[in-house]
Amino acid sequence: MDQEKIIIIGGGLNGLFSGAILAREGFDVSVFEKDNVPGGSLREFQREGVSFETGIHAVGAFRPGEAMYRLFNYLKIWNKLDLLPVDPRYTEIYRVGKEEYCFPRGKEQLVSMLMEEFPAQGEDIRRYFDALYKLSEESQLHDLRMPSPRARSYGLTWSAGKLIDAFLRDDDTRNMLALRSALYAGEQYKTPAYLHALANKMYTDGTARFIGGSQQLATALVGAITSNGGKVYTGRGIKRVEISGNQVDHVVSTDGRQHRAARYIMAIDPLSMLDIVDRGKLQPACLQQIEALTPNYSTFTLFIILQPGAFSFFNHARGYVESLDDAWGQVKCKRRDWPRGLTCSTPPETIRDRYARKMVVDCVMSFKQVKRWEHTVTGSRPKSYQTFKHLQEEAVIKMLERVFPDIRPCIQSVYSATPLTFRDYCNRKGGSVYGFKQQAGQPEFARLSAGAGLDNLLLVGQNDHLHGTLVTPVSVIEACAELVGLDYLLKRINE
């Protein structure tokens, strides 16, 4: 490739992935990131000398031959990452009331466990998982394979709930298969079935966690960009995008300088993009689609510092709901009923941790719960907001005690983040940590194509398409393929 200049707006996960791929392919890449540290949800922060990840805690498809492994290898960053696979015995343990269910790693192992728990539903469970895996495999671009022209059978038109209902007749079994819904903010009869399938396959196959924190991936991606001649500017965001005719003419950075390129990639929340462009110069269809996007749910997160040597490390996720009937209820609960469930983990510091130094606890939360303070900013929020946070912290710890009855004496300090925190820290409207809401049967309302209706502007990012890290290969590959060709790029990655 020649040295065609590319400007990437946003140095989060997808902006850095896009920059690393295009720099690898010979483009002259410049990434502009408004914060002083690149990485977006890969970044970490410190409290009392303890580092915490802000968003991304795990990565899937990381084993040799799998999608992320191939992508990391292609970018020559695999050997720069320190990953710890989750416990091979089980990827998650869910406490439902007083009962505990261990989800082992691997499709056959999980099917066997569920068949033992629900023997009358045995063959239906197997048929369900066969359909789940078949559906996830139809999304070939997630596996970094050339997509088949054959459309998905029912992944877009069916909801997650309809998929489960089609194979299982027993309510307890159905709800058991929905326990992971909080991991991707799934709504029973709204979330498309293919999203449910992709998320469940990723967790069933097993994920890995970053030893020492997720910032290492951002650092590796920055290195991949700069080693191929690209540049990453931090503390220097883009405050205005100037459009002339049907093209971006130039961009203006926060220091007042103008920058021009042949192509531009917008790697920020599309709704936030509208703050830096003249809406009247966007294509009406594109503008209408962006304005119709609804941010998905956010989370209330506890960052707990544990007393040294007081609490044993566990290398899997833990979850809690009061009853199986609450499996889908975490995203729908009213303020007075919150929280309806939680997930938690102890991030690894070394490969052989015996005791945990920290714990992260997530509870799905709607932005509505903090909307009364939406016009405030971090550092200057009123006492009423701080009181709200302390009340929620206590509610979460009380629920956490149902999972770990002896946890309270092990706690040294507690810090928390609300949807407002994620909105301000990650520049996401509504504080969404799960992208935009999608409606089964109406995917066009939440899926933006890489093209933005302007000849030289591409869109990329988690919020453009799917929930969480599931989109990372797809959104990035689609945008980069506009410049180098999809067949060529996939061949390069899979060499």
The verdict on 423 and 441 lying in the same domain is: no
Q: Say if CB 474 and CB 194 are below 8 A apart.
A: no
The verdict on 108 and 153 lying in the same domain is: yes
**What's 254's domain CATH number?**
3.50.50.60
The verdict on 186 and 113 lying in the same domain is: yes
**What's 198's domain CATH number?**
1.10.405.10
Report d(CA 472, CA 459) in Å as an integer: 13
Report d(CA 423, CA 46) in Å as an integer: 19
Q: Is 405 exposed, middle or buried (0-12, 13-18, 19+ CB in 10 A)?
A: exposed
The verdict on 183 and 246 lying in the same domain is: no
- Does 303 reside within a domain? yes
Residues forming beta bridges with residue 59, ordered by sequence position:
208
Boundary (domain end) residue, out of 145, 179, 205: 205
- Does 82 reside within a domain? no
pLDDT above 70 (res 444) = no
| pLDDT number for residue 286 | 84
Instruction: Kindly tell me the sign of the dihedral angle through the C-alpha atoms of 186, 190, 191, 193.
Output: positive
pLDDT above 60 (res 223) = yes
Mean pLDDT, to the nearest integer, of 64-85? 95
Instruction: Kindly state the DSSP code that residue 46 receives in the 8-state scheme.
Output: E
Query: What is the DSSP secondary-structure string of 323-362?
Result: SGGGTTGGGT--GGG--SEEEEE---SSTT-SB-SEEEEE
- Does 13 reside within a domain? yes
Tens digit of each residue's pLDDT (9 = 90 or more) over 33-48 = 999 999 998 999 999 9
- Does 84 reside within a domain? no
| pLDDT number for residue 179 | 95
Q: What is the mean pLDDT of the chain?
A: 91
Boundary (domain end) residue, out of 205, 229, 262: 205
pLDDT above 60 (res 443) = no
Q: Say if CB 66 and CB 59 are below 8 A apart.
A: no
- Does 379 reside within a domain? yes
Local confidence band at 3 (pLDDT 50, 70, 90 cut-offs): low
Local confidence band at 465 (pLDDT 50, 70, 90 cut-offs): very low
Tens digit of each residue's pLDDT (9 = 90 or more) over 310-334 = 999 999 999 999 999 999 988 877 7
Local confidence band at 93 (pLDDT 50, 70, 90 cut-offs): very high
The verdict on 411 and 425 lying in the same domain is: yes
The three-state secondary structure class of 448 is coil
The verdict on 288 and 301 lying in the same domain is: no
CB-based contacts of 211, cutoff 8 Å, min separation 6: 82, 83, 84, 348, 349, 350, 351
The verdict on 285 and 302 lying in the same domain is: no
Mean pLDDT, to the nearest integer, of 431-452? 73
The verdict on 313 and 383 lying in the same domain is: yes
Local confidence band at 467 (pLDDT 50, 70, 90 cut-offs): very low
Q: Note if the bond before 339 is cis, omega within 30 degrees.
A: yes
Report d(CA 127, CA 143) in Å as an integer: 23
* 468/124: higher pLDDT: 124
For the chain, the domain total comes to 3
Tens digit of each residue's pLDDT (9 = 90 or more) over 60-72 = 889 999 999 999 9
| pLDDT number for residue 395 | 97
Mean pLDDT, to the nearest integer, of 392-417? 98
Boundary (domain end) residue, out of 180, 205, 230: 205
The verdict on 304 and 395 lying in the same domain is: yes
Q: Which domain holds residue 158?
A: 103-205
| pLDDT number for residue 449 | 65
| pLDDT number for residue 242 | 97
Tens digit of each residue's pLDDT (9 = 90 or more) over 254-292 = 999 999 999 999 999 888 999 999 998 888 888 888 888
The verdict on 363 and 456 lying in the same domain is: no
The verdict on 302 and 414 lying in the same domain is: yes
Local confidence band at 462 (pLDDT 50, 70, 90 cut-offs): low
What is the radius of gyration, based on Cα positions, of the chain?
22
* 464/472: higher pLDDT: 472
- Does 165 reside within a domain? yes
pLDDT above 50 (res 245) = yes
The verdict on 108 and 185 lying in the same domain is: yes
* 270/359: higher pLDDT: 359
- Does 271 reside within a domain? yes
- Does 75 reside within a domain? no
